[in-house]
Amino acid sequence: MTIASLRESEAGDAVNATQLTDGIHLVVDALKLNEVEAVYGVVGIPITDLARLAQASGIRFVGFRHESAAGHAAAAAGFLTGKPGICLTVSAPGFLNGLVALANATVNCFPMVQISGSSERHLVDLQRGDYEEMDQLAAARQFAKAAYRVHRAEDIGRGIARAIRTAVSGRPGGVYLDIPAAVLGEVIDADLGAASLWRVVDPAPRQVPDAAALDRAIELLAGAQRPLVVLGKGAAYARADDEIRQFVELTGVPYLPMSMAKGLLPDDHPQSVASTRSLALRRADVVMLVGARLNWLLGHGDAPQWNSGAKFIQVDIASTELDSNQPIAAPLVGDVGSVMRALLERTKPGQIAVPASWRDELSARSADNVAKMAKRLKAAETAHPMKFLGALQAIRDVLRENPRAYVVNEGANALDLARNTIGMQVPRHRLDSGTWGVMGIGLGFAIAAAVESGDPVVAIEGDSAFGFSGMELETICRYGLPIVTVVLNNSGVYRGDAAASAAGDPAPTALRAQHDLMITAFGGKGYRATTPDEVTTALREALALGKPALIDCIIDPADGTESGNIAHLNPKGITVKS
Ligand code: ADP
Ligand code: TPW
């Protein structure tokens, strides 16, 4: 029986179908067929039964307090597993809350699918005022890599397949899939339903540039006096760790890891120029970007931050990324794994060699910078009240004892200083505010890392940053996840020493909270640390327990720079700071 004839008979006599299914079952069956193991979301009309059924079918459903955090979790799951993370939201407001994360996933090139229930089309489209009325598809379109809507239960399998393929193929991103309540409730013949589902085959196929493109890049590198490789989070996402390491080590080219590419090669690798970043950018004459965009995080490739004569090689899956900021002399459009493998195959032994003068120039500057930093770290060790760097050194040392632990990081100073202080040894173990510099990813990312890996997670949070997803502490405790949230609490956005207004209101940047008390309300363990030693003891104990914990680190309110290291982006105007 075809679906059309089933409908006809439905319209006439009662259907003589012994086996029926519905939209809700079909969504779950399609997800399972595509090996989805976890769904992150918040329930309500019309998706509560969908969450229940997903859980009953063996999919792990993680129920959040806010869709934004659930969405961030799905995005992080996508980055960590290479399969789209799934976020489930209710209509209109729930959908919009999740949309921030979908947009952030798209901007960061993380694969994610937001599946949202939606209200009755015939009411929404005539704007008759339905419960949670909104044209979600139209709203999602501009913030997502793609947006689709399913109108018939028989198309659910197609919709999910299309969403999964779109999320992971080419440049990964966030895909929106709208499933109206009526479709979730639609009943169809079970055999027809089963036949309408399929498993996506090879959703992110390998892509290799041709020999001429490879040779062009190799020759450029071979002729360089001061070559540099920049590794971005696209390189980490590509899971080509061995190929990248081999290429970097075989050629001896110095490399700079962007923040989420840290650990792709261990941060103490002798070819890392993380400690001499500005010199490396300013002087490099041939730069090979691997899964990294020349966006604001790299000063758009502009002089004087960069050498104005620098030539760029760019390895990227998205051809339209190339030439977006600087001329790309040697484009290598393809997936990082295939490109690096092909480069390794075609580079002749000794063809790319790094002049000793360049290595020496970098290591001399690096020694200077490391010495300067060592001085700052030493001073912070004993400073009281505790400084960011005092707490961060303690965290760094405990993390060295736990190299498998994931690190999540957001804030301004909390982000900049932790990124520079805490080395990563393992790929894809650092998750942070990313391309947008967004606050609110913290606990969602941490939950995804714990759920997807089962390994411990340390979320290093500015006190303002923490507040954006702080209620997810309850989620962490409810699911008993091995996450230690470390709040670097300097009582403010950026810093906590601004005076109150003349009328007695707190300054716009002021905050006040004792965060360790929060987690105890949910059954987790709270610690308060006022010295680096107390941070060490608390973090060691919390990681050993493997249970939800929060350490409120009391930091000097006068420590911290407004806007961290991107203060230059603040508009100047004529206002004078009080
Ligand atoms: P970062 O912020 O670390 O510099 P970006 O997010 O700016 O990194 O850049 C990531 C780049 O990686 C994007 O341009 C994206 O198209 C690209 N990318 C993502 N996955 C792959 C892949 N598998 N192969 C090649 N390029 C990829
Ligand atoms: C969604 C603006 C950037 S950084 C930051 C805010 C509010 C918090 C900085 O204070 P914090 O860290 O976390 O206490 P620290 O170490 O400097 O004291 N809303 C969103 N995203 C961004 N980026 C902001 C606001 C912002």
Q: What confidence score (pLDDT) does residue 2 get? A: 40
Ligand 2 pocket check for 464: Cβ under 6 Å:
yes
Q: What confidence score (pLDDT) does residue 4 get? A: 45
Expressed in angstroms and rounded, the spacing between residue 435 Cα and the centre of ligand 1 is 11
Q: How far apart are CA 16 and CA 23, in angstroms?
A: 19
Q: Ligand 1 pocket: which of 109, 230, 231 to mutate (most atoms <8 Å of CB)?
A: 109
Q: What confidence score (pLDDT) does residue 10 get? A: 47
> Per the structure block, which two tokens stand in for 440?
């609110």
- Residue in 233, 11, 7, 225 with CA at minimum distance from that of residue 105: 233
Ligand nearest to the CA of 338: 1
φ, ψ for residue 270 (rounded to 5)? -65, -20
Query: Which residue in the block uniquely carries the two structure tokens 């490789």?
Result: 229
Expressed in angstroms and rounded, the spacing between residue 351 Cα and the centre of ligand 1 is 27
Which amino acid is it at 71?
A: G
- Residue 458 near residue 395 (C-beta atoms within 8 A): yes
- The string of pLDDT tens digits covering residues 421-438 is 999 999 999 999 999 999
Looking at the DSSP assignment, which residues form a beta bridge with residue 578? none
Helix count (H) and strand count (E) of the chain? Answer: 23, 19
Q: What confidence score (pLDDT) does residue 5 get? A: 44
Eight-state DSSP code of residue 514: -
Q: How far apart are CA 86 and CA 111, in angstroms?
A: 9
What is the residue with the minimal CA distance to atom 10 of ligand 2? 493
- Residue in 223, 402, 222, 220 with CA at minimum distance from that of residue 314: 220
Expressed in angstroms and rounded, the spacing between residue 148 Cα and the centre of ligand 2 is 33
Ligand 2 pocket check for 413: Cβ under 6 Å:
yes
Put simply, whether the predicted model's pTM sits higher than 0.85 gets the answer yes
The whole-number mean pLDDT for each consecutive block of 10 residues of the chain, a chain of 578 residues, reads 44 60 98 98 98 98 98 99 98 98 98 98 95 96 98 98 98 98 98 98 96 98 98 98 98 98 97 97 98 98 97 98 98 98 97 97 95 95 97 98 96 97 97 98 99 98 98 99 98 97 97 98 98 98 98 98 91 73
The DSSP secondary structure of 301-356, one letter per residue, reads: G-TTTS-TT-EEEEEES-GGGTTSSS-EEEEEES-HHHHHHHHHHHSPTTSS---H
Q: Which atom of ligand 1 is nearest to the CA of 316?
A: 26
Q: Which atom of ligand 1 is nearest to the CA of 261?
A: 3
Which residues have CB under 6 Å of ligand 1?
108-109, 171-172, 232-234, 237-238, 258, 260-261, 291-293, 295, 297, 316-318, 321, 335-336, 435
List, in order, residues 6 or more apart from 53 with CB less than 8 Å away.
Answer: 24, 25, 28
Expressed in angstroms and rounded, the spacing between residue 233 Cα and the centre of ligand 1 is 6
Expressed in angstroms and rounded, the spacing between residue 1 Cα and the centre of ligand 1 is 47
- The string of pLDDT tens digits covering residues 31-60 is 999 999 999 999 999 999 999 999 999 999
**Strand ranges, E, within 50-203:** 60-63, 85-89, 112-118, 146-149, 174-180, 187-189
Q: What confidence score (pLDDT) does residue 100 get? A: 98
- Residue 329 near residue 312 (C-beta atoms within 8 A): yes
